Amino acid sequence: MLRRFTTFTAVLALGASSCLQAQDLPPAQLDALARDVSRVEAVRAVKDLERSYAQYAQYGLWQEMAPLFADHARIVWGDTTIAGPKAIAAWLKGRVGGREGLSAGALHTEIIDSELVNLSVDGKSARMRLEAMSFSGDGKGGTAIDGGTYENEYVLEDGHWKFATMRYFPQLAGDYARGWANAGGSDLTRPAYHFTVDETGVPIPAPQGPAPASGTTLAAVEERVDRLNQEDAVRNLQNAYGYYVDRRMWDDVVDLFADDCAVEIAGVGTFRGKAGVRQAMERMGPQGLTHGQLNDHPLFSVMVEVLPGHREALSRGIQLGMTGEADKGTAAWEFATFRNRFVKDQGLWKIKELRLYPQLQADYANGWGGGGTARPAEGMLPAFIDPNPVTGQEIALAGTRPVGTDRLTAPPPGAGPDARPGTEMARLLDATRRLKRSAAYDGVENVSHAYGYYLTDAFWDELGSIFAKGGNKHSPFAGFYLGQDRIRAAATAMYGKPGPTRPSIPYHWRPQPVILVSHDGRSATLRTRLFQPGTAKPKADGGPLGGSLSAGMYANDQAVLENGIWRLWSLTIDEPYWSTAGWRAGWSGAKDVAPGKAAGKSPLVDRLPPDIPMEALGRRAEHFRGGTGVTYQWPQILPMWFAYKNLVSGRVPENYWPDSTPSLVLPQSRLIANGYEMPPTGPSDDGLPIELTPPGSDKMEGN
């Protein structure tokens, strides 16, 4: 039985309803809300435009990519400018392999993320900064790896969002044999930002003037708001699934599925029911990771479509697999597409059908240049969840077989969204609140990526400024610093002031967010991963270029709406879970260090002692460098922490810390001690928790 904590809210609603029953709904208020909904939808449309671009590129669909550009668009790629529809189409064709669709054995996967978007005041244009990395191969031995930063501009043209300017700053380049190094071989500059510090937390500025007549109805606006809310819930579920896969937490994976469910893996088969889900997952190995095992599958360019009736939804995206066993010296890549179906069952979204289409699998030692070791989905085109956003045409590719549209399970009962009770004014106020929750999702994602950009670029003043006045930040291997000034001082003491250029860059991508927003839309918790490519100048001896990859986790981040601007409230980085031992050796080339020889606490502890040292965190810091207990270093397996219970079953994770990391040591740092609601920490609906676990399960284990 699901029980939602709504008593207090229900009392408020009854009181509001009794006061408003006699009031009519002013048209101007409905028009204003309709405009606000359109502005949130615009931000989502711009993000999906980028995601469509990446998904089309993965299959060499340049003829689908070209219409995404406005009539007078241009591409500025480093020092090269391409302008006009014909020139852009020709350039895109060359970029993805010189033909429509990939040639036999070829690969072209562009992972594009770190979306920091700002809508214009008039809502007719937008700008967005992104990080990108591309993995290419011709199937004949040729390979390329490149990466950099986008600063793109978008325009609403003929009712469709399109690229106005795609501006790309190359920062790393190489090939599979040698790895990569700084593009051009020189020190790297910092691409200029399109945003100010405060604008990072305001993706949607306040509109100007009265809203135009919308000609809509309250019910239609409520339906659009509900669609946004449900999209957020499904995206969280999709991303949460990915984190469980990384750690082979099969009990939790199975919990996310509906009873009538199926998993289909191209080239393998179909697995039905929860027992089948377990069987499909265990193809990757038994429950849990042991020494030297890596099973990371980060998700990129994830699109979500809530279907009419809001009882079903689809997701589609790119999955990058990095797997192996250091103890055996094995490692592999996998480039895949997923296309999943979700169902809303008893008030909770669940996975109904999971479909995986591995495009290319490759042994790490040999790479993907020759076509890899397997191409299970060769000749298949996993169906896209939407038509081309500009042409409105369904996506097809001659010579391929479209897959993924047929149902593997029975459809749910046909029904629309639940009707909203109360007077029209009460309903409008509630729709306004619920819209703020979806706007919060975008605001939190924005400031999250701002942190990654400022950290990558070593802009310490700006980094401190995106924290709330009462915020706190974890400095790796040292501890927590409280308040903006201490955060800035710690970063400066550790790394010094930034110079105009850099010989090397450790990037700080923060993809795959699980953002749980409070009922009032003023606070949120955030889980996101650290995906960290690294680049440096090439070596003078002309040897391997290098290039590096490593990973961490931001398990306990929080954000708040402070004076109308989204800012970070608390941030913790758990790292490194794994890292490459040089490009050629890869992640499975790592070796154990002798007992007691693992790296110790950060030198920052002596330079500027933290307000809360890691040793004070007890079990929460156990095995992490600078923390408590014996230090673990890859290929040892660090503990993985979660701030939420299973979003479907309420299963409590082994390592559970539902509030900010310093909250147990410093109770006055908690959200609820500072006038903010604590967002849900498990199954929820509309920002309100659904009780599925015994009372007391939310308690954090002390020292």
pLDDT of residue 16: 40
Q: How far apart, in whole angstroms, are the C-alpha atoms of residue 395 and residue 381?
A: 9
Burial of 480 per CB tally in 10 Å (0-12, 13-18, 19+): buried
Residues 6+ apart with CB under 8 A from 161: 42, 45, 46, 49, 126, 154, 155, 389
pLDDT of residue 21: 42
Joined together, the tokens standing for residue 367 give: 């790479």
Q: How far apart, in whole angstroms, are the C-alpha atoms of residue 564 and residue 517?
A: 16
Distance from the Cα of residue 572 to its chain's centroid: 17
pLDDT of residue 641: 99
Stretch 295-316: mean pLDDT, rounded?
98
- Confidence label for 124 from pLDDT (cuts 50, 70 and 90): very high
Q: How far apart, in whole angstroms, are the C-alpha atoms of residue 134 and residue 132?
A: 7
pLDDT of residue 546: 82
Instruction: Spell out a b/e string for 301-329, using b for 16 or more CB atoms within 10 Å of the CB, else e.
Output: bbbbbbeeebbbbbbbbbbbbbbbbbeee
Answer whether residue 6 shows pLDDT above 50: no
Confirm if 354 and 143 have CB atoms less than 8 A apart: no
Confirm if 624 and 636 have CB atoms less than 8 A apart: no
Residue spans of alpha helices (H) in 478-589: 484-495
Q: Which amino acid, 684?
A: S
Confirm if 133 and 511 have CB atoms less than 8 A apart: no
Strand partners, 323: 295, 332
With H, G, I as helix, E, B as strand and everything else as coil, classify residue 553. strand
pLDDT of residue 14: 31
Instruction: Spell out a b/e string for 647-684, using b for 16 or more CB atoms within 10 Å of the CB, else e.
Output: bbbbbbbebbbbbbbbbbbbeebbbeebebbbbbbbbb
Stretch 449-453: mean pLDDT, rounded?
99
Answer whether residue 687 shows pLDDT above 70: yes
Stretch 365-373: mean pLDDT, rounded?
97
Q: Phi and psi (nearest 5°) for 552? A: -145, -170
C-alpha separations of 481 from 62, 253, 464, 602, 642 in Å: 48, 36, 11, 14, 22
Answer whether residue 8 shows pLDDT above 70: no
Residue with tokens 């029980």: 3
Confirm if 689 and 681 have CB atoms less than 8 A apart: yes
pLDDT of 651-666, one tens digit each? Answer: 999 999 999 999 999 9
Q: How many CB atoms lie within 10 A of CB 513?
A: 21
The region of weakest confidence among 314-328, 534-548, 614-628 is 534-548
Adjacency order of strands within the sheet including 684-685: 3-4, 688-691, 684-685
Of 254, 314, 317, 321, the closest CA to residue 281 belongs to 254
pLDDT of residue 187: 97
**Three-point CA angle 39, 44, 50, nearest 5°:** 130
Per the prediction, the chain carries an average pLDDT of 95
Distance from the Cα of residue 512 to its chain's centroid: 2
pLDDT of residue 696: 52
Q: Which amino acid, 277?
A: V
Confirm if 88 and 82 have CB atoms less than 8 A apart: yes
Residue with tokens 């310093």: 662
pLDDT of 405-431, one tens digit each? Answer: 999 999 998 777 777 889 999 999 999
Stretch 466-490: mean pLDDT, rounded?
99
Strand partners, 160: 157
pLDDT of 125-146, one tens digit each? Answer: 999 999 999 999 999 999 999 9
Q: Phi and psi (nearest 5°) for 60? A: 70, 30
State percent of the chain over pLDDT 90. 91
pTM over cut 0.85: yes
pLDDT of residue 697: 55
Strand partners, 403: 382
In 228-385, the DSSP E strands lie at 257-265, 269-272, 293-296, 299-306, 312-325, 330-345, 348-363, 380-382
CA dihedral 250, 358, 533, 489 (to 10 degrees): -40
Stretch 46-65: mean pLDDT, rounded?
99
Q: How far apart, in whole angstroms, are the C-alpha atoms of residue 112 and residue 263?
A: 27
Q: How far apart, in whole angstroms, are the C-alpha atoms of residue 677 and residue 668?
A: 14
Q: How far apart, in whole angstroms, are the C-alpha atoms of residue 577 and residue 574?
A: 8
Q: How far apart, in whole angstroms, are the C-alpha atoms of residue 106 and residue 59?
A: 10
Q: Phi and psi (nearest 5°) for 420? A: -90, 130
Q: How far apart, in whole angstroms, are the C-alpha atoms of residue 427 and residue 25?
A: 10
Stretch 460-478: mean pLDDT, rounded?
99
- Confidence label for 695 from pLDDT (cuts 50, 70 and 90): very low
Q: How far apart, in whole angstroms, are the C-alpha atoms of residue 182 and residue 174?
A: 9
Stretch 73-91: mean pLDDT, rounded?
98
Residues 6+ apart with CB under 8 A from 505: 171, 172, 182, 188, 456, 534, 535, 536
Stretch 477-499: mean pLDDT, rounded?
98
Joined together, the tokens standing for residue 447 give: 């400031």
Answer whether residue 10 shows pLDDT above 70: no
Answer whether residue 330 shows pLDDT above 90: yes
Burial of 60 per CB tally in 10 Å (0-12, 13-18, 19+): buried
pLDDT of residue 544: 74
Q: Which amino acid, 546?
A: G
Answer whether residue 610 shows pLDDT above 70: yes
Torsion-angle region of 564 (φ positive above 0: left; ψ -120 to 50: alpha; else: beta): left
pLDDT of 222-267, one tens digit each? Answer: 999 999 999 999 999 999 999 999 999 999 999 999 999 999 999 9
Of 137, 151, 146, 192, the closest CA to residue 172 belongs to 146
Q: Is the dihedral of CA 217, 222, 228, 234 positive or negative?
A: negative
pLDDT of residue 699: 57
Q: How far apart, in whole angstroms, are the C-alpha atoms of residue 531 and residue 508?
A: 6
pLDDT of 568-607, one tens digit each? Answer: 999 999 999 999 999 999 999 999 988 776 778 999 999 9
User: Do the strands 348-363 and 257-265 form a parallel or antiparallel pair, or are they unpaired?
Assistant: parallel
